[in-house]
Structure 1
């Protein structure tokens, strides 16, 4: 009977895992596209002329701070002065987190006017807005502790380039030749904007979705239009209340080529190239941060083909090969491969602080061919695409300026649709739903912590009622810990608090305090109430998961060990004297976990203030709970272990208890 149930459990687990795996693979798949042409089946003939070409820049996560790393400010001024002069972009997209908004201790968060003045002064002093169209938008740091757009702390309105005219989402259009280029900025900042850390995921409310839909209609009303979407949050970190997600909004816009963003900072260097092709039919490209990595992006739309290169500040020359386009980023749903197949020239954009001396190119292992200068940064070399009609090939460009700086770049290309795969980590970071993931890991850990306690308690009652054979435990590590947890679940004064507290975290308030400016709010796992507004839970679940894994899980194991120790003390009379090593093993783990939780409670106090600290079941009250349970189990009266003794203090188990006790003493 036991084997049958075990097999059934294995089969059910395999089915559930298969369903989950299939859904994840389906979500991350980017192979759902087939090559398409425009409505007339035409393409723009690509030759050696500068027509149908535009280039622009993106910079993100400046984190201008008055407390740390002044080079962020100094080198940002260099970017606005020298980089813009050398590249001469038509547009600069500054995609959020323009300021750091963190207190001197890096824990609290609020808006500092001095940081915004640095940003404004640099843009003004370098006359960046005269050199290019400067399109900036808010990030979550620019929205820390801002109750609404009319708040005195909303410095974006007064100190940014676009803030006064466009406080949230907006669109700019540029007419160049026969083409219209639209740039749609998506502001997904929360309103109100809580202090960190509960401001990590953005949201588009109904009004913002309506506004974005109106921008799409305006963009689609014009033929020969190419649209670039930009914002701070990746689509994986944007909630929408209605049926349309941010990916649906971008994907339904037929002329939208790409969504560029920041926010994730390459995940601390784990994913330095965070790119993917969304199933809705557009590229999503996260640029590395300026804060620590000093990265920016050069982008171009050349005859309808989008190309880009991520560049580190002060690295020159800068090279961008626009034809043939990089095979990984060719979007068959939005770009016509015939444009490359029927082109007459390889096209390269070359930039440097000094004049360009030499530009040459080669394909695969062929000879180097010197490129001809056309205009601006454009260099070309004639080629015969028919020689490379099948499979993957490599194009390599070499650039040297008159001051001797040298740079080379290479990229794969394909003329028959042969595709490359994006990295799995990039696809997970940009294609998953962060809020759903946070919620899943929270509830999974919750079940993992609580369910075994109730199952073992049920097994205990089954044994004592005679419905189940008493377990035979060996001396393995697994058997020891099962016995310890079993004993803990029989002690009512310990079982109910340790089992119900994590359940409480799933529905009860975590803290009450000043969450935004001087407004009192309430934090739940499932959302935040402040200033009459409800912000759905997202990063709160991740915060709760960290509480469960760093506090609840180790505390449960520690209390189980203490309960087992007290059980042995009371059952083995007279109790054997413990060695110093055994005492350390018994008490030190608790004080480590308790100290860690005290540190987290202190950080929470710095972030949200005294009221949130005092009215904080998540952090502060959990310390009281842990201390009380620790004291009670160490001084547990004999009557409280009677239930455990009914199973474990028998003649068949006495030897095991003695052996374990002997090992602890030794």
Structure 2
């Protein structure tokens, strides 16, 4: 069969253009813009709250819930105005942590634990606000269903506060607004794909309106703090490309509190957002991530003193020790940039002291005679900031926008793959009939290897690798499939849910009344599946296939030159090339000798052995990735998905078999 290369190029480019990358696809949800409002009175103009995040209450690690009793005793000393639980309440993993599912027992444990904290901590339960994290939605097909245990056991559900936006106002001499945002997926994909927060246009507009509402309806100044589970770097843009950063900066919030990235990654992540809201004005806010309770037992006390925001973090491995939080002047490394026109110097130094002991004087000497000192920190009474240099982990996790980075990594890989497939084929297409190329290709005697420049071997390698039309067209078809068609099928939601399809652009997930949504969920969530496959499997498969065919061509040409030289010197009639000596007929009849001959013939030169070893390593990596997906989304559905599971192995095995030079 003849193949028209330009026509193939046209088809490929047409299909690639059909693939319109977008940051977000998701089913519509009428509750995206819903807001629940709560208001509580307070005395004076100083408020403080406690934040905990990533509890990961687990059936298999009961100590996480048991040690929350330490939080209860700490709350009795702190007596906060609010307790904020910023997501990942339960672990939702099996004991081996290979698959995810909602466990009702974990939610019952959470509810009982909160009730115990209320009893021991003396906090009003209505002042506890919890929001979902990605673990709290693993495998939940839709909100309000039987697997959505957050809607049954969370504190917010008990007070009918199931809106995606929780607006809380503390009213005193000043007003302090805390706004919670639930950006978890409307359809809860199971681990490992469920990693990002998903904003919507409706929700972003509702957040903007709610923040503006209290500014317009308050007779006293309002300080605003927003909290959620996901950092901004792990929150996808809305359908129209909107993001929270510009809204939060435009509404002059003081800080955004989040969790999600555990203390093992980095104990404390800070980011200063500075956004240009108009041509002549910049607005800013801080983003502060809190490490996890799961392993680190971290708790944050955040205070607002006359509009100045400060905080201190504690590790509750033991009971809370006497703690000093200086609320004014604030830490110059984390203070808000204030307009010089509005800045007024204060002549006071304010501290909050939290202790189970009676404090006898202002030097923080408790009744046991223990003198307590505050942590050292730089201050600025003039309103000047001292933003510290961020470590590389802080930059990588908090300042890199992973939604955009995924697009860069994805399309650069696909562009490289397309170039790798088509440029060598075009070169070979145009020069294969050239007599100069034939002379150039044949001139590879071993004596001249040292004289050849590296580009010669690179061009030779690529062009010879594309000479096999069946393999080349198979690889092109496979890449086109990966761009447009589903990679695999599996149980993306509950274990008994409908089979969902995963595409390069996201998931097509069955809705609860059957059928597919018709839209794909946001694609950043599949990066943990697609990027390892593209970089560690797809590209190596293509390169190794090229290598096997190029090695075969090199060995054949070198052998042919030796045969021709031998025939010229002995003047013997030439027969077909024989790469192995012909064994006696009696020996060839023996099975053992046949097997040895086949192994030697298959392995060939040292170059071929290195290529075969690389093929085995690539196959092992591929099988490891497939094994993880089988654990997460079902063994049978993933195993019966040839584009993901079998085609890379078939390409490698077929190339290894077809490049064996058989002895005659």
TMscore range, shorter length: 0.7 to 0.9
The answer to whether the aligner puts 1:284 opposite 2:287 as a matched pair is yes
CA contact (8 A) 1:257 1:334 kept: no
Distance in 2, Cα, partners of 1:241 & 1:524: 18
Distance in 2, Cα, partners of 1:227 & 1:61: 23
CA contact (8 A) 2:49 2:82 kept: yes
Of the three residues 110, 118, 132, the one matched with 1:119 is 110
Q: What secondary structure is seen at the aligned counterpart in 1 of 2:179? A: strand
CA contact (8 A) 2:44 2:173 kept: no
Distance in 2, Cα, partners of 1:492 & 1:309: 65
Distance 1:351 1:452, change over 3 A: same
How many angstroms does 1:607 deviate by? 1.0
Of the three residues 84, 94, 99, the one matched with 2:75 is 84
Q: Over aligned residues, Cα RMSD in angstroms?
A: 3.1
How many angstroms does 1:608 deviate by? 1.0
Distance in 1, Cα, partners of 2:481 & 2:338: 48
How many angstroms does 1:475 deviate by? 5.9
CA contact (8 A) 1:168 1:186 kept: no
Distance 1:271 1:499, change over 3 A: farther
Of the three residues 244, 247, 250, the one matched with 1:249 is 247
**Structure that is richer in strand per residue:** 1
Of the three residues 579, 596, 602, the one matched with 1:575 is 579
Q: What secondary structure is seen at the aligned counterpart in 1 of 2:310? A: strand
Distance 1:416 1:206, change over 3 A: closer
CA contact (8 A) 1:235 1:430 kept: yes
The answer to whether the aligner puts 1:435 opposite 2:440 as a matched pair is no
Q: What secondary structure is seen at the aligned counterpart in 1 of 2:507? A: strand
How many angstroms does 1:497 deviate by? 2.8
The answer to whether the aligner puts 1:70 opposite 2:65 as a matched pair is no
CA contact (8 A) 2:223 2:254 kept: yes
CA contact (8 A) 1:594 1:626 kept: no
CA contact (8 A) 2:227 2:256 kept: yes
Distance in 1, Cα, partners of 2:436 & 2:307: 72
CA contact (8 A) 1:526 1:537 kept: yes
CA contact (8 A) 1:61 1:263 kept: yes
Distance 1:290 1:592, change over 3 A: same
Could you state the TM-score of these two structures normalised by the residue count of structure 2? 0.75
The answer to whether the aligner puts 1:493 opposite 2:475 as a matched pair is no
Distance 1:557 1:466, change over 3 A: same
Distance in 2, Cα, partners of 1:335 & 1:505: 56
CA contact (8 A) 2:358 2:366 kept: no
Give the aligned partner of residue 337 of structure 2: 332
Give the aligned partner of residue 28 of structure 1: none
Distance 1:183 1:618, change over 3 A: farther
Give the aligned partner of residue 300 of structure 1: 303
How many angstroms does 1:94 deviate by? 0.4
Distance 1:549 1:557, change over 3 A: same
The answer to whether the aligner puts 1:548 opposite 2:548 as a matched pair is no
**Comparing 568-577 and 302-311, the one that deviates more:** 568-577
Distance in 2, Cα, partners of 1:189 & 1:296: 23
CA contact (8 A) 2:506 2:525 kept: no
Distance in 2, Cα, partners of 1:467 & 1:287: 69
Q: What secondary structure is seen at the aligned counterpart in 1 of 2:295? A: helix
Of the three residues 374, 377, 384, the one matched with 1:417 is 384
Distance in 1, Cα, partners of 2:367 & 2:553: 80
**Comparing 290-299 and 422-431, the one that deviates more:** 422-431
Gaps of 5+ in 2: 1-42, 276-282, 444-448, 560-576, 581-599
**Comparing 238-247 and 464-473, the one that deviates more:** 464-473
CA contact (8 A) 1:322 1:349 kept: yes
Give the aligned partner of residue 513 of structure 1: 490
How many angstroms does 1:615 deviate by? 4.5
CA contact (8 A) 2:54 2:89 kept: yes
Of the three residues 131, 135, 153, the one matched with 2:129 is 135
How many angstroms does 1:504 deviate by? 2.9
**Comparing 609-618 and 488-497, the one that deviates more:** 609-618
How many angstroms does 1:590 deviate by? 1.5
Distance in 1, Cα, partners of 2:355 & 2:331: 22
Distance 1:617 1:539, change over 3 A: farther
Give the aligned partner of residue 222 of structure 2: 225
Of the three residues 305, 312, 324, the one matched with 1:319 is 324
Give the aligned partner of residue 355 of structure 2: 352
How many angstroms does 1:106 deviate by? 0.8
Q: What secondary structure is seen at the aligned counterpart in 1 of 2:376? A: strand
Q: Deviations over 1:303-331 (max 9, x none)?
A: 11011122222363433222221112222
How many angstroms does 1:185 deviate by? 0.8
Q: What secondary structure is seen at the aligned counterpart in 2 of 1:554? A: helix
Distance in 2, Cα, partners of 1:157 & 1:222: 32
Of the three residues 426, 447, 454, the one matched with 1:458 is 426
Distance in 2, Cα, partners of 1:507 & 1:186: 34
Give the aligned partner of residue 161 of structure 1: 155
Q: What secondary structure is seen at the aligned counterpart in 2 of 1:307? A: strand
Give the aligned partner of residue 585 of structure 2: none
Could you state the TM-score of these two structures normalised by the residue count of structure 1? 0.75
The answer to whether the aligner puts 1:185 opposite 2:180 as a matched pair is yes
State which structure, 1 or 2, has the greater radius of gyration over its C-alpha atoms: 2
Give the aligned partner of residue 392 of structure 1: none
Distance 1:465 1:564, change over 3 A: closer
Figure out how many residues of one structure are paired with residues of the other and give that number. Answer: 546
**Comparing 237-246 and 543-552, the one that deviates more:** 237-246
CA contact (8 A) 1:169 1:186 kept: yes
How many angstroms does 1:112 deviate by? 0.2
How many angstroms does 1:335 deviate by? 9.7
How many angstroms does 1:509 deviate by? 1.0
